[in-house]
């Protein structure tokens, strides 16, 4: 049986300071946050909301990992990227119950076998305040250490460059990063599910809603292999198979 997949987590830079539950991302006002989602001629679109009863939560109730993160790129300063080694430790969110988020104790129980892997990358921030805001456990998944420090980190830098190029041309860029929960009972450890895959996609569009550039990436979370690069459409096909339900990252617009 497939593990139910929870709603995406909406996080961006300074919004990471405090996590919150968002029942409808496209609702106006404080109930939602539509400005962070891809804008098209038909309006804002979000990734596919998968069926089930867990979509009103940030985390799967029983495995406590985020499955996605949305980024809206207004400014990416590659010349002032900060190093995460200089920052304080990871924190939990006081606004969420313990059963809605992981704890440092959960991760410490791995004994270093799995890292707290950023979804929103610390290396995509340009100030220490923004960087520190990414160190919340609702922005982390258990990630294979060599992948976290190796090929996935390389990819984060490459995607930051592409996003920066888009913004510097006066366009808008949107990105989604997600994790696929594992179905293997051997990877349900310390109250956490070790995702089988981590993936990301971005879409750069101009002011006339014409796509300028988009790509998708996915990597297995067990080895330090370079993520597989593909079109967003091909990534959606892969994710449809992994999630067991038709899935689109950008509503088929990229």
Domains of the chain: 9-243 (3.40.570.10)
> Looking at residue 65, what is its pLDDT?
53
Round to whole Å and give the CA distance between 73 and 18.
Answer: 19
> Looking at residue 1, what is its pLDDT?
20
Strand, coil or helix: what is 230?
Answer: strand
Tokens of 184: 């293997």
For the whole prediction, is pTM greater than 0.85? no
Phi, psi of 131 (to 5 degrees): -65, -45
> Looking at residue 50, what is its pLDDT?
62
> Looking at residue 3, what is its pLDDT?
27
Angle (CA) 118-123-125 rounded to 5° is 105
> Looking at residue 76, what is its pLDDT?
39
Tokens of 113: 């076998």
> Looking at residue 58, what is its pLDDT?
38
228-230 and 192-193 beta bridge pairing: unpaired
Digitized pLDDT (tens) for each residue of the chain, 254 residues in all? 222 233 333 333 333 334 445 556 666 665 556 666 777 777 777 777 666 533 333 343 344 555 555 444 433 343 444 444 444 588 887 767 777 778 888 898 888 899 999 888 877 776 777 777 778 888 888 999 999 999 999 999 999 889 888 888 998 888 888 888 888 888 888 878 898 999 999 999 898 989 999 999 999 999 999 999 999 999 999 999 998 888 888 888 88
Residue 119: which of 82, 86, 159 has the closest Cα? 159
Round to whole Å and give the CA distance between 208 and 249.
Answer: 20
Round to whole Å and give the CA distance between 158 and 144.
Answer: 20
Residue 115: which of 102, 124, 126, 125 has the closest Cα? 102
Cβ proximity of 138 and 19 under 8 Å: yes
């Amino acid at each position: 049986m497939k593990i139910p997949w929870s709603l995406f987590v909406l996080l961006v830079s300074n919004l990471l300071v405090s996590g919150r539950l968002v029942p409808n991302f496209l609702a106006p006002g404080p109930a939602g946050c539509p400005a962070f989602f891809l804008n098209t001629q038909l309006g804002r679109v979000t990734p596919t909301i998968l069926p089930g009863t867990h979509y009103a939560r940030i985390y799967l109730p029983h495995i406590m990992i985020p499955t996605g993160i949305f980024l809206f790129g207004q400014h990416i300063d590659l010349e002032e990227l900060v190093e995460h080694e200089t920052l304080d430790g990871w924190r939990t969110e006081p606004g969420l119950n313990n059963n809605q988020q992981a704890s440092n104790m959960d991760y410490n129980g791995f004994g270093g076998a799995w890292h707290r892997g950023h979804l929103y990358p610390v290396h995509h921030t340009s100030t220490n305040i923004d960087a520190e805001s990414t160190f919340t456990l609702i922005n982390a998944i258990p990630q294979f250490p060599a992948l976290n420090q190796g090929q996935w980190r390389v990819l984060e830098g490459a995607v930051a460059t592409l996003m920066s190029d888009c913004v510097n041309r006066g366009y808008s860029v949107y990105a989604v990063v997600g994790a696929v929960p594992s179905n293997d009972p051997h990877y349900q450890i310390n109250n956490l599910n070790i995702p089988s895959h981590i993936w990301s996609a971005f879409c750069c569009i101009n002011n006339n809603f014409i796509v300028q550039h988009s790509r998708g990436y996915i990597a297995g979370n067990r080895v330090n292999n370079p993520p597989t690069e593909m079109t967003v459409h091909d990534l959606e096909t892969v994710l449809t198979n992994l999630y067991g339900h038709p899935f689109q990252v950008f509503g088929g617009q990229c």
